Amino acid sequence: MQWETVIGLEVHLQLATRSKIFSGSPTTFGAEPNTQASAVDLAMPGMLPVLNEQAVRYAVMFGLGIGAEIGKRSIFDRKNYFYPDLPKGYQISQFQDPIVGRGRFEVQLEDGSTREIGITRAHLEEDAGKSLHEDFHGMSGIDLNRAGTPLLEIVTEPDLRSAAEAVAYLKALHSLVTYLGISDGNMAEGSMRCDINISLRPSGSEAYGTRAEIKNVNSFRFVEKAIRHEVERQADILEDGGTVAQETRLYDADLDETRPMRSKEVANDYRYFPEPDLLPVVIADDYIEAIRESLPELPTDKRHRFMEQYGLSAYDANVLSDTRPLADYFEAVVAGCGDAKIAANWVQVELLGQLNRNELDIEHSPVSADALGGLIVRILDNSISGKIAKQVFEAMWQGEGSADEVIEAKGLKQVSDSGALETMVDEVIANNSAQVEQYLAADEARRKKLVGFFVGQVMKLSKGQANPQMVNELLAKKLV
Amino acid sequence: MHQISVAQLAKGLRDKQFSSTELTRHFLDRIASLDSRYNSYITVSESAAMAAAEAADRQLAAGDAAALTGIPIAHKDIFCTDGLRTSCGSRMLDNFVPPYDATVIQRFKRDGAVLLGKTNMDEFAMGSSNESSFYGPATNPWDRERVPGGSSGGSAAAVAARLAPAATGTDTGGSIRQPAAFCGITGLKPTYGRVSRLGMIAFASSLDQAGPMARSAQDCALLLNTMAGHDPLDSTSAAVATEDYTAALDNSLEGLRIGLPREYFGEGLDAATGAAVDAALKELTAQGARLVEISLPHSHLTVPAYYVIAPAEASTNLSRFDGVRYGHRCEDPVDLHDLYTRTREEGFGDEVKRRILVGTYALSAGYYDAYYKKAQQVRRLIKQDFLDCFEQVDVIAGPTTPGPAFRLGEKSDDPIAMYLEDVYTLAVNLAGLPGMSVPAGFVRGTPVGLQLIGRHFDESRLLNIAHRYQQVTDWHVQEPPEIAEGAA
């Protein structure tokens, strides 16, 4: 039977506030255990939460970014369960009245087509601490540095149909939140963690199958692998006439498999009720409007603009709008050289290639956008060929100066002096009489192929600096 | 020195009739010699109190004394005190020494008060008799066979036995007013949000409110001046301007409309207690107040609504006591489950466990709508009843309790009978209103109280009425016989 995969994602996004959501403790990653936990984070008796306004602002920014309804009166609830790294015995979260309601989100797939993914809701909550089970001789260590870190939990509709779509969604989400500056999106440090709800149904069926939830997957690659694995597992069960159990599973990256969580790890009745220590969050319209006005251009808008304004392909527009610094860089190159297509090509191929090889991000590129624009100008005005330009770029990358400085220092300027070129052309014709005869004996179609040999010889003689167009013209004139 | 009011003590200190060191020593000596009878203190902070008194004397000498500089105050053991054990009346926190002061404590320190010690209370403020304290019950100084009330029973007993000039309490369903009534002192539960809850160990967050317990309305006003005010670290604290609560004490009662809810004078009210309240109301009408019969039609739903909401909040507020970070931890836990269950089994007493169970049940899936949600709807109706009445009257009056203090052990095996003790006080917390208990006479030798209920943030009015009443009565200055006789 043909199965259709149905996926919904819950992303826990760490918001980039400086302090925690309900206390003044810093949120810096990687500090010594329990050095960033105040009396509030430790749930000392009598301590009370105070909502961090910046977390609210970031949540509203996200809501506006996906065109969602903003909860004008959102409520915090207590989600009750016992665990040693949950100091209060409850997590402050939002249940009935989240801060962000329904929204939608355009995602570009690998093939350049786009899909609208529905966002069910997004709500604010606090993170728990960390339990450490190694190195404590049969005991567990508790690190509460992370306890109280602000999270935005973003829940999609079951709109995704494959691992590739799920990853495309996550990449687009990552792009959006980093554009907005509301999260560093650093998956390795746990800034974006993902729960995957996944079920199969016979192709063409409307009804959903029974879903399994895979908890806490923290990289794009693992999301893809976990989904592929889980789809296979469920398909095997269904093909054999079995039923999928509704359960929570863990993805084990080492074994590349999902397995059910122990029942102990799954609490079933969280006894949600409104948090009496916090008042409802009432958000005024002018607060929302002020944020709306301060929003940057978002990735989807930028992508569309790149296609329209610069005539880029969907693919190129998607790559170049992926992050704000990259998009800004690209636009600065265009401004410098005036040719968007060549700029797009150079940024994607040469620049991103070098950056990737050197594991650098765009903000640390040794070649500035102005410098790259300057290089492209020299290609456009025929001072150098595309091939020489790569050589110049290499030198610029090594810090040898601007395009003009490198061209000057290395004497790479294209030879367009017709006298000098003529001398070289004559020399090549004189030294290759056999090829000349062959050429002259050939028909028109074959001549077009054979002329390349002479061009190559002239380029060789000129150390690549001859203006190829002029060489072609001269050869056409002389080979008669 | 133990026979005079806070207002008089403050004057005495300024006039150099005595020093804070002498005053503090005097109360510490009284506690040392008398408190074995009353068990009103859990912890006495002798050396820190003397050091604070010496500092206060220096300030007094330098002439830069604040309102309460040098006045010894006792605090209910629910307020966290930096470096001083804060037990909340529970074995769970018997070893707990907070590294911080509650906002209320900070404010008393700021205003120069001397912290005498921490008073006895029902465990986690759950109780109406002080009998659920891990440290044993405090007793009623008017009759040591009787309860002092609860949960702020230690504070009430300490003030009544003249073991502190004044004290703080907290009131979730009557825990200031009921013990004040039983011990013949004056107690005020301010409007919800008037006094910061930061550092006050939570029982039911949406109901808890700290307030003063003293001999007179005037002393309560002085203490409230120190306690009241917005606290940015308590989100539920009200950003409503405070006032000088002593300013309106002497205002005339001419034309004051006092509402008498018929539901508070019916079945269940002890006749002699009702008579004492009637007599008190007569004194107020003699000063120009007018009595208006009113109705709070949802009163019969108060006890059930309260006993869903308060335990529900308590059940999760007390989850943090898990033996992981502070407080009691069972010996040699074999695993996490054992750590939790034995720690909580050993650390909590029966009444606390009962309320955790009730509250957990009320919040459980499938019961939430029928219990917690329904109780919140009832709560809104109860609040609306009061707001409707305040369209017609300025203040509401009635008995604080159905009768005088009951005997120790009399109701400790019957939780429902115990819960009904708070039938007149609970609604005030559900509605977030200020309420006050004022000594209004004696029934069979023990005190009873007149309860006054005001509009939100109308504490000044309640204090004004109580003060005017205390100008023409002497119930509040009477001392328990064995104290007056100087049996100490």
Q: Beta strand B114-119 with A103-108: parallel, antiparallel or unpaired?
A: unpaired
CB-CB neighbors (< 8 A) of A142 in chain B: 324
CATH topology of domain B6-258+391-484: Amidase signature (AS) enzymes (3.90.1300)
Q: Indicate whether A446 pLDDT > 90.
A: no
Q: Are A117 and A157 in contact (CB under 8 A)?
A: yes
CB-CB neighbors (< 8 A) of B99 in chain A: 39, 44
Q: Do B235 and A278 touch (CB under 8 A)?
A: yes
- A26 token code pair: 């810093």
Its sign, for the CA torsion B198, B199, B204, B207, is: negative
- The reply to whether A112 and A193 lie within a common domain is yes
A288 CB burial (10 A radius; 0-12, 13-18, 19+)? middle
Pick from A88, A155, A188, A24: nearest CA to B232: A24
- The reply to whether A77 and A136 lie within a common domain is yes
Give the residue carrying structure tokens 């939570």.
B202
| Active site (annotated) includes residue B319 | no
Q: At what angle do helices A418-431 and A468-478 cross, to 10 degrees?
A: 60
CB-CB neighbors (< 8 A) of B234 in chain A: 48, 50
Domain's final residue, options A267, A290, A313: A290
Q: Beta strand B186-189 with B435-443: parallel, antiparallel or unpaired?
A: antiparallel
- The reply to whether A395 and A427 lie within a common domain is no
Pick from A129, A151, A154: nearest CA to A8: A154
Q: What is the pTM of this model?
A: 0.91
Domain's final residue, options A250, A273, A290: A290
Give the residue carrying structure tokens 């007056």.
B484
- The reply to whether A359 and A429 lie within a common domain is no
Per-residue confidence (pLDDT) for residue B277, from 0 to 100: 98
- The reply to whether A234 and A170 lie within a common domain is yes
Domain ranges of chain B: 6-258+391-484
Q: Closest residue of B to A140, CA-based?
A: B336
Closest residue to B205, CB basis, from A44, A51, A276: A276
* B468: enclosing H helix or E strand: helix B459-472
Q: Which of B79, B233, B337 to mutate to test the interface with A (most CBs of A within 10 A)?
A: B233
CA B78 to CA B89: how far, in whole Å?
Answer: 8
Q: Are B154 and B41 in contact (CB under 8 A)?
A: yes
Q: Which of A41, A83, A273 to mutate to test the interface with B (most CBs of B within 10 A)?
A: A273
CA B256 to CA B150: how far, in whole Å?
Answer: 31
CA B133 to CA B151: how far, in whole Å?
Answer: 9
DSSP B319-378: GG-SSSSSS---SS-SSHHHHHHHHHHHHS-HHHHHHHHHHHHHHSTTTTIIIIIHHHHH
What total of structural domains would you count in chain A? 3
Q: Beta strand A150-156 with B41-44: parallel, antiparallel or unpaired?
A: unpaired
- The reply to whether A239 and A388 lie within a common domain is no
Q: Indicate whether A262 pLDDT > 70.
A: no
CA B277 to CA B265: how far, in whole Å?
Answer: 10
- The reply to whether A286 and A301 lie within a common domain is no
Minimal C-alpha gap between B301 and chain A (Å): 21
Q: Which of A48, A79, A140 to mutate to test the interface with B (most CBs of B within 10 A)?
A: A48
CA A425 to CA B186: how far, in whole Å?
Answer: 114
Q: Do B93 and A279 touch (CB under 8 A)?
A: no
Domain's final residue, options A232, A261, A290: A290
Q: Closest residue of A to B339, CA-based?
A: A84
Task: Give the CA dihedral B405, B411, B415, B416, nearest 10 degrees.
Answer: -70
CATH code for position A428: 1.10.10.410
Please calculate the CA angle B95-B99-B70 and round it to the nearest 5 degrees.
100
Q: Which is the catalytic residue, given B5, B19, B129, B151?
A: B151
Q: Are A176 and A158 in contact (CB under 8 A)?
A: no
- Strand stretches in B45-138, DSSP E: 72-76, 114-119
Pick from A10, A281, A11, A12: nearest CA to A151: A12
| Active site (annotated) includes residue B90 | no
Q: Do A90 and B363 touch (CB under 8 A)?
A: no
Distances (CA, A) of A244 to A195, A210, A225, A233, A260: 18, 6, 19, 9, 12
Longest dimension (CA), chain B: 70
CB-CB neighbors (< 8 A) of B93 in chain A: 45
Pick from B64, B155, B66, B170: nearest CA to B116: B155
- The reply to whether A73 and A164 lie within a common domain is yes
- B307 token code pair: 């006993």
- The reply to whether A315 and A445 lie within a common domain is no
- The reply to whether A263 and A374 lie within a common domain is no
B93 touches chain A (CB under 8 A): yes
CA A63 to CA A122: how far, in whole Å?
Answer: 8
Q: Do A89 and B322 touch (CB under 8 A)?
A: yes
Q: Tell me the residues of A at the B interface, defined by beta carbons under 8 Å apart.
A: 39, 42-51, 78, 80, 82, 84, 87-90, 140, 142, 269, 271-273, 276-279
Q: What ipTM is given for this predicted complex?
A: 0.96
CB-CB neighbors (< 8 A) of A42 in chain B: 325
Q: Do A45 and B325 touch (CB under 8 A)?
A: no
CB-CB neighbors (< 8 A) of A50 in chain B: 232-235
Which domain covers residue A445, as residue numbers?
A: 418-478
CB-CB neighbors (< 8 A) of B429 in chain A: none
- The reply to whether A180 and A262 lie within a common domain is yes
Q: Would you give the distance in Å from CA B412 to the centre of its chain?
A: 20
Minimal C-alpha gap between B126 and chain A (Å): 16
Residue pLDDT tens, chain B, 488 long: 888 999 999 999 999 999 999 999 999 999 999 999 999 999 999 999 999 999 999 999 999 899 899 999 999 999 999 999 999 999 999 999 999 999 999 999 999 999 999 999 999 999 999 999 999 999 999 999 999 999 999 999 999 999 999 999 999 999 999 999 999 999 999 999 999 999 999 999 999 999 999 999 999 999 999 999 999 999 999 999 999 999 999 999 999 999 999 999 988 899 999 999 999 999 999 999 999 999 999 999 999 999 999 999 999 999 999 999 999 999 999 999 999 999 999 999 999 999 999 999 999 988 999 999 999 999 999 999 999 999 999 999 999 999 999 999 998 888 887 888 899 999 999 999 999 999 999 999 999 999 999 999 999 999 999 999 999 999 999 999 999 887 54
| Active site (annotated) includes residue B216 | no
Give the residue carrying structure tokens 């492209």.
A376
A228: number of Cβ within 10 Å: 15
- The reply to whether A369 and A465 lie within a common domain is no
pLDDT band of A263, cuts 50, 70, 90: low
Q: Which is the catalytic residue, given B45, B76, B133, B411?
A: B76
In one letter, which amino acid is B102? A
For chain A, give the number of residues.
Answer: 480
